[in-house]
Amino acid sequence: MRELKFRAWDTCRKGWYVPWHRSKLYMTMWGDPFYLHPNDGSIVYHGDIVLMQYTGLKDKNGKKIYEGDVLLIPDEYTDRILDDGTGPREPFNHLSVVCFDSLGGFGVEILEHGDIFDVRFWSFERIVAEKGEAKFEVVGNVYDNPELQS
């Protein structure tokens, strides 16, 4: 069974929701999340919360990968300067944000062409199937590190 976990960003307070004692995440019947503090009954409303789901994967350092995380994805680039299409190979890294695709899977949008990854959405399932085990590293997220977004 897949583990369902979420984390939440509070857009008003510009910080991560930190659960206080006995606080709960609730969902309305429309799927809108809100938090209820059990002691004083205060509510953090759904419009102020961005939920990000755990992908079920961990990076190469054992850190859990969530939606909105920025991943460093190793690749290579060959500068094709010779007539036969070969040339020097250089290490090259992609910075990609984890997202949920409309087809129903987590993955990353690769925005630059490399030797291993071409430009398109890559589901994690497809990366593993086509490329073998991927060595991703979480280097931040879109809220704490907006400068990492492409």
Residue 34: the pLDDT is 60
Residue 116: the pLDDT is 85
Most confident among 37-51, 58-72, 74-88, 125-139 (mean pLDDT)? 58-72
Which amino acid is it at 101?
Answer: D
Residue 3: the pLDDT is 67
Residue 31: the pLDDT is 55
Task: List phi, psi (to 5°) of 83.
Answer: -60, -30
| Residue 101 scores a pLDDT above 60 | yes
Q: What pLDDT, in 10s, does the model give residues 2-44? A: 667 778 787 777 878 655 444 555 555 455 556 555 455 555 5
| Residue 144, token pair as written in the block | 């704490």
Determine the distance from the C-alpha atom of residue 42 to the mean position of all C-alpha atoms in its chain, rounded to a whole number: 30
Cβ count near 17 (within 10 Å): 20
Q: What pLDDT, in 10s, does the model give residues 103-148? A: 778 999 999 988 888 899 999 988 888 777 778 899 999 988 888 7
Section 89-100 average pLDDT? 91
What is the number of residues in the chain? 150
| Residue 55, token pair as written in the block | 């992908």
